[in-house]
């Protein structure tokens, strides 16, 4: 982590090659960026020299603790409940599963309030934001899987049209969500080492 500096690189700089990453649904949200002999002026340094890793870690913590995670989870949970009601889902396992997920969503929401309080107190809630990110991405997958299993094949229609429930698209989109902002394994490692004081494996 030492010796890394952060710089702002204008994307129109010579040697910058941007290639789109298209997800399994044909959508483009991210890019691969290649740098070949790119030169950047020293004025583009962000923060102090050799402190780039720590600046990046701080900004990642801000991103991981964002309220968007909680809002997205609550909307997804509401959509799942509407789909269950609309399809007349009566399976006890599905109903209890959705109730358990509602509890998890509320735990994540309350933890996000704690993170906001810790930040306002000047603390750096590194492992708490890792819990939020882990809960958000894995709970998104669990909600989608539960709905797809409860609704059956009709839930997997992904093309626009009268039969598109939206769950097929959500289910596919939820899979790479555990990689963005740090994989679930990275989040668990942060929780274990910084939250529980366990040695690195």
Does the structure show a pLDDT above 80 at 65?
A: no
Give the confidence band of 64 by pLDDT, cuts at 50, 70, 90. Answer: low
> pLDDT for 168-201, tens place per residue?
888 888 887 777 778 899 999 999 999 999 998 7
State mean pLDDT over 120-139.
Answer: 90
Q: How confident is the model at residue 148 (pLDDT cuts 50, 70, 90)?
A: very high
The whole-number pLDDT of residue 119 equals 87
Give the chain as a DSSP string: -TT--EE---TTSTTEEEEEEE-TTS-EEEEEEEESS----GGGEESSTT-HHHHHHHHHHHHHT-HHHHHHHHHHHHHHHHHHHHHT---HHHHHHHHHHHHHHHHHHHHHHHHHHHHHTT---HHHHHHHHHHHHHHHHHHHHHHHHHHGGGGG--SSSTT--SHHHHHHHHSGGGTTTS-HHHHHHHIIIIIS-PPP-
The pLDDT tens digits for 8-61 are: 999 999 999 999 988 777 778 789 999 999 999 999 999 999 998 888 877 777
> Domain 64-195, CATH 3.40.50.300 — does that match?
no
The average pLDDT across 81-89 equals 90
Mean pLDDT of 153-179: 72
- Position 160 pLDDT exceeds 70: no
Tell me, rounded to whole angstroms, the distance of Cα 113 from its chain centroid.
Answer: 18
Q: What is the reported pTM?
A: 0.80
Q: What is the distance between the alpha carbons of residues 114 and 35, in angstroms, rounded to a whole number?
A: 40
- Sole residue written with tokens 């839930």: 155
Asked if 54 and 1 count as a contact pair (C-beta separation under 8 A), the reply is: yes
- Location of each CATH 1.20.140.10 domain in the chain: 64-195
- Residue 22: phi and psi, rounded to 5, are -105, 130
Q: How far is CA 134 from the centre of its chain?
A: 8
């Amino acid at each position: 982590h030492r010796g890394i500096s952060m710089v702002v690189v204008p994307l129109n700089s010579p040697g910058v090659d941007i290639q789109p990453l298209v997800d399994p649904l044909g959508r483009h949200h991210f890019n691969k960026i290649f740098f070949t002999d790119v030169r950047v002026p020293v004025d583009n340094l962000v923060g102090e020299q050799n402190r780039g890793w720590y600046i990046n870690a701080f900004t990642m913590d801000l991103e991981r603790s964002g309220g968007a995670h909680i809002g997205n989870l609550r909307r997804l949970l509401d959509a799942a409940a509407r789909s269950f009601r609309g399809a007349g889902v009566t399976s006890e396992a599905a109903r209890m599963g959705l109730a358990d997920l509602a509890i998890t969503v509320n735990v994540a929401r309350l933890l996000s309030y704690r993170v906001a309080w810790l930040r306002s107190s000047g603390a750096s809630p590194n492992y708490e934001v890792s819990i939020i990110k882990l809960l958000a991405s894995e709970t998104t997958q669990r909600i989608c899987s539960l709905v797809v299993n409860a609704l059956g094949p009709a839930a997997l229609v992904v093309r626009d049209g009268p039969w598109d429930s939206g769950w097929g698209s959500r289910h596919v989109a939820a899979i790479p969500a555990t990689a963005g902002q740090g994989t679930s394994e990275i989040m668990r490692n942060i929780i274990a080492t910084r939250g529980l004081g366990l040695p690195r494996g």
